[in-house]
Structure 1
Amino acid sequence: MFPWFAVGHMTPFLHLSNKLAEKGHTITFLLPTTAEKDLQHFNLHPNLITFHPLTIPHVDGLPAGAEMAWDVPLSLNHLLIIAMDRTRDQVELVIKHTKPKLVVYDFSYWLSEITKPLGIKTINYTVVRAASVAIALVPAPELQGPPTGYPSTNVVMRRHEARALSFISFPSGEGISFYERSTTSMKECDVISIRTCHEIEGRFCDYLASQYIKPVFLTGPILPEPAKTPLEDRWAKWLRGFQPGSIVYCSFGSQYILEKEQFQELLLGFELTGLPFLIALKPPIGASTVEEAFPEGFEERTTGRGVVWGGWVQQLNILAHPSIGCFVNHCGFGSMWEALMNDCQIVLVPYLGDQILNTRLMAEELKVGVEVEREENGWFSKESLCKAVKTVMEKDSEVGNLVRKNHAKWKESLVNPGIMNGYIDKFAKDIQVLVNN
């Protein structure tokens, strides 16, 4: 396993590793040295899953010691991916030493140059929505909207949102764009695999198989096991002080850093709801702590009912707590599944292209959540955030009741062990056939 150096990529790879280890497979998991201790608690089968730390070379322009995407702003991701590419010699040595039958990767488009001469099969594993790949990363000469043959869908992007897909043309390493890196990775592998299920995205998966002319294996969402580490006392005690289903929890992942003005607008929006809230966000651009960016008088006005935390929290434990009634998130693919698998209401504030498409799925196709309305420039107001939260939290809200009903239906389907285990069983059989051919 060799995922991109971001938590949102590494944890799905590790969850998949756990599922394969349950079936007796042995796995070597390549990761940056600094990530090992943070991911260790996700390794449920240390006797079968071996972490192999890589020494990440320094690249000019990166902060000293930066090894993971959470160490750098999005604007420096292209430098971090150069550092990943420069681990190629280390990766090759590990592969030649361990002699695996299969290598699973995502962004390291050069891996096939190592594996093919050795007769090793490869899978390019996509941890974002199939629709995101289908709309932006097919091997078509034009990048102006959905390509010919794209399946009919109500997934659409507003004018200001379409600009969010411009990242596919950005540099993503030395002399290569994100689009070139991603499509080459999929062209050169033996099989494409996607962390999704046929019930939700079957038509997109079939489309990708036709575009890349190769098999597409689905793993299902590969949901994390229920948290085994108890919730920290400070959060458990605070959450117990409120009624069941009354608290609004907000998190935008490890890389989404707001501008100060938008950060303050977000906080004022939560204040405006009148509801208790727990916000876990990185300090905004230009601030070293969340506290120094608070709007004037905000802390005094919300003391006792609101907490803004600038560090890491146990998100799975928090979402499972009975006091949490709403999850405001950026609709990254991991957060999307975590939201679907819990009982809290869902409010969505997407930022990047794939998050926007995930939001379209959640809000407009599955109708399990509500998106915060934005201005034409892409920003949201405290009033629009407050409106979205109240829409799903008020008991007599027609929209709130609809998304609550749909959410319960989809959760029931997704927690069905027969359905999810069926995906892993089929995936395990498919890779056995792959490596034996």
Structure 2
Amino acid sequence: MDPAHSSDLHIVMFPWFGLGHIMPFLHISNKLARKGHRISFFVPAKTLSKIQHFNRFPRLITFFPITVPHVDGLPVGAETTSDVPSPFYLLLMTAMDRTERDVELLLLELKPHIVFFDVAYWIPKLACKLGIKTVYFLVLNLVMAGYLSGCERAEQEMSIPFEKLLLQPPSSFPDSSIKLHLHETRFFVRRKTLGLGNDIKLDDRLRIGRAECDALVSKGCKEIEGPFVEFAERNIGKPMLLVGPVIPESPTNGLGLEDKWVNFLCGFEAGSVIYCGLGSETVLKKDQFQELLLGFELSGYPFLAALKPPFGTETIEEALPEGFEGRVKGRGVVHGGWIQQQLILKHPSVGCYVTHCGYGSMMEGLVLNESCQLVMIPFANDQIYNARLIANRLKAGVEVERGEEDGFFTRESVCKAIRTVMEENYSEVGREIRANCSKLRELLLNKDTESSYIDDLIKKLQDLMS
């Protein structure tokens, strides 16, 4: 298609091989397809079946399976971060790099206008050679991107150790209440050094991709992240295009909530059940796993927790605290498999969502149930900044208190956070959080807000082609 003769765009999506990245790319694909634009979506072959029912516009969104080559050290058949523990992610990046020739052949055949990418840092040079524009899609928090970029710039200009800079928001950062704890800085320091032998480091991959693309796009809206946009632009050195809140679409497979969950949830009053989902990649240490469950028990509320078995265990059952099953029988369930999270959150009995604060999960908690309150336990990356933005700046949720150095939470701190948002009649803080959460939910659900952001994004993408 010749852009000179049509305003319709043809966009290729090539996300990092992790569902936490693939799904945001698919959500924005649905938003763009709704406006009539064509999407070619590159996805690991065996992952296709897990996501195709989220394609709301199959006439305009076409999936192209990518064969992920085997890399020594990776389990045979591993395709995404869901298939391997985090120490193997670097090998998965090497496998992604080895798809470059296949991607080039597809681009030559499809002749898109633009490629959206993130971890595949080599996309800008490849696309430029083919006359294709590139957009770095920042699926992680815009606040985090600005914070880390500000620290990196200060490190270069002031020769202060990066780990020391992380403990305080960088100079002119818009909000002093959003900052890291000591145990969180270690994660970001380690990330800067991650690499395999002479392979490119993880942070360098991200930096090169941002530096060589034609534009950056980020989830978010000025009503929430506004003060951080200019700061991020200044420190990253690229204009930042916002796509709005990108509310996740419901799947199209038509399946209702499983009977066992309907029967369990319907046994309790409206807004009384705690639902806990920490994402597909979060694995707790056994003692933290048990403290979390004991916190639910201590709260006195009924609960449904979808968790992976903790480190060193094979099953949920072997990791449960002694006597726990008997004490919570009839009011508490711990589930170790896949669960229909969107449908669970929509159920009127759910009144509290304990989340790891992945962006998509957090949005689901905010918009799917008007009475659901957020309790946040972030673990890494943008989860930390999502939690601080909601809890500290917007005061629309509460973050579980943890040890400054070790990052551990206790059953008491879990219970305290839950009761803060659930017992609104006994806590002025809880009433304020509920009111602010309601205002934020109203803003996010405003269809005119979302549509105007997508329209503005499309215009700027079209301008990029001129």
TM range (shorter): over 0.9
2:215 matches 1:166: no
Corresponding residue for residue 57 of structure 1: 69
Structure 1 distance, partners of 2:382, 2:23, is 18
CA deviation profile, 1:399-419 (whole Å, cap 9, x unmatched): 211110000011111101111
Q: What are the within-5 Å matches in structure 2 for residues 35-74 of structure 1? A: 35-74=47-86
Corresponding residue for residue 412 of structure 2: 383
Letter matched to residue 424 of structure 1: I
Corresponding residue for residue 416 of structure 1: 446
Letter matched to residue 315 of structure 1: Q
Structure 1 pair 276–326 and aligned structure 2 pair: CA distance change class (3 A): same
Corresponding residue for residue 241 of structure 2: 217
Q: What are the within-5 Å matches in structure 2 for residues 290-301 of structure 1? A: 290-301=316-327
Do the aligned partners of 1:167 and 1:178 also contact (CA within 8 Å) in 2?
no
Structure 2 distance, partners of 1:265, 1:213, is 43
Q: What are the within-5 Å matches in structure 2 for residues 387-398 of structure 1? A: 387-396=416-425, 397-398=427-428
Do the aligned partners of 1:196 and 1:219 also contact (CA within 8 Å) in 2?
yes
Structure 1 distance, partners of 2:408, 2:455, is 44
Do the aligned partners of 2:391 and 2:398 also contact (CA within 8 Å) in 1?
yes
Q: Aligned to 1:46, what secondary structure does the other structure show?
A: coil
Letter matched to residue 25 of structure 2: F
2:130 matches 1:130: no
Structure 2 distance, partners of 1:16, 1:353, is 21
Task: State the Cα distance separating 1:77 from its structure 2 match.
Answer: 1.3
For 1:337, which of 352, 360, 363 is the aligned residue? 363
Letter matched to residue 46 of structure 2: T
For 2:299, which of 255, 259, 273 is the aligned residue? 273
CA deviation profile, 1:328-375 (whole Å, cap 9, x unmatched): 011122222222223311111111142122111111100011111112
For 2:179, which of 152, 156, 167 is the aligned residue? 156
Once structures 1 and 2 are overlaid, which stretch shifts more, 364-373 or 174-183? Answer: 174-183
Q: What are the within-5 Å matches in structure 2 for residues 193-342 of structure 1? A: 193-226=217-250, 229=254, 230-341=256-367, 342=369
Corresponding residue for residue 42 of structure 2: 30
Task: State the Cα distance separating 1:237 from its structure 2 match.
Answer: 2.0
Structure 2 distance, partners of 1:420, 1:298, is 44
TM-score (norm 1): 0.96
Letter matched to residue 120 of structure 1: I
Q: Aligned to 2:14, what secondary structure does the other structure show?
A: coil
Corresponding residue for residue 190 of structure 1: 214
Do the aligned partners of 1:276 and 1:306 also contact (CA within 8 Å) in 2?
yes
Task: State the Cα distance separating 1:147 from its structure 2 match.
Answer: 4.8
Task: State the Cα distance separating 1:274 from its structure 2 match.
Answer: 1.5
Do the aligned partners of 1:257 and 1:283 also contact (CA within 8 Å) in 2?
yes
Letter matched to residue 295 of structure 1: P
For 1:358, which of 382, 386, 407 is the aligned residue? 386
Structure 1 distance, partners of 2:170, 2:199, is 25
Structure 1 distance, partners of 2:94, 2:171, is 33
For 2:456, which of 404, 426, 432 is the aligned residue? 426
Structure 1 pair 386–277 and aligned structure 2 pair: CA distance change class (3 A): same
Task: State the Cα distance separating 1:149 from its structure 2 match.
Answer: 4.8
Structure 1 pair 107–137 and aligned structure 2 pair: CA distance change class (3 A): farther
Q: Aligned to 1:257, what secondary structure does the other structure show?
A: coil
| Pairs aligned (count) | 436
Gaps of 5+ in 1: none
Moved over 6 A (4+): none
Do the aligned partners of 2:149 and 2:232 also contact (CA within 8 Å) in 1?
no
Structure 2 distance, partners of 1:107, 1:172, is 13
Structure 2 distance, partners of 1:280, 1:357, is 23
Q: Aligned to 2:305, what secondary structure does the other structure show?
A: strand
For 2:202, which of 178, 197, 201 is the aligned residue? 178
Q: How many percent identity over aligned positions?
A: 49
CA deviation profile, 1:44-83 (whole Å, cap 9, x unmatched): 1111111111111122222221111111112221111111
Structure 2 distance, partners of 1:266, 1:210, is 40
For 2:33, which of 21, 35, 48 is the aligned residue? 21
For 1:372, which of 382, 389, 400 is the aligned residue? 400
CA deviation profile, 1:158-204 (whole Å, cap 9, x unmatched): 22222232243142566222221111110010000001111111222
Once structures 1 and 2 are overlaid, which stretch shifts more, 185-194 or 126-135? Answer: 126-135
2:88 matches 1:80: no
Task: State the Cα distance separating 1:148 from its structure 2 match.
Answer: 5.0
Structure 2 distance, partners of 1:227, 1:183, is 34
Q: Aligned to 2:76, what secondary structure does the other structure show?
A: coil
Do the aligned partners of 2:16 and 2:118 also contact (CA within 8 Å) in 1?
yes
Structure 2 distance, partners of 1:388, 1:108, is 39
CA RMSD of aligned residues (A): 1.6
Corresponding residue for residue 399 of structure 1: 429
Q: Aligned to 2:424, what secondary structure does the other structure show?
A: coil
Structure 2 distance, partners of 1:424, 1:276, is 40
Once structures 1 and 2 are overlaid, which stretch shifts more, 381-390 or 161-170? Answer: 161-170
Structure 2 distance, partners of 1:68, 1:294, is 29
Q: Aligned to 2:188, what secondary structure does the other structure show?
A: helix
Once structures 1 and 2 are overlaid, which stretch shifts more, 316-325 or 15-24? Answer: 15-24
For 1:96, which of 108, 119, 130 is the aligned residue? 108
Structure 2 distance, partners of 1:277, 1:148, is 43
Once structures 1 and 2 are overlaid, which stretch shifts more, 389-398 or 186-195? Answer: 389-398
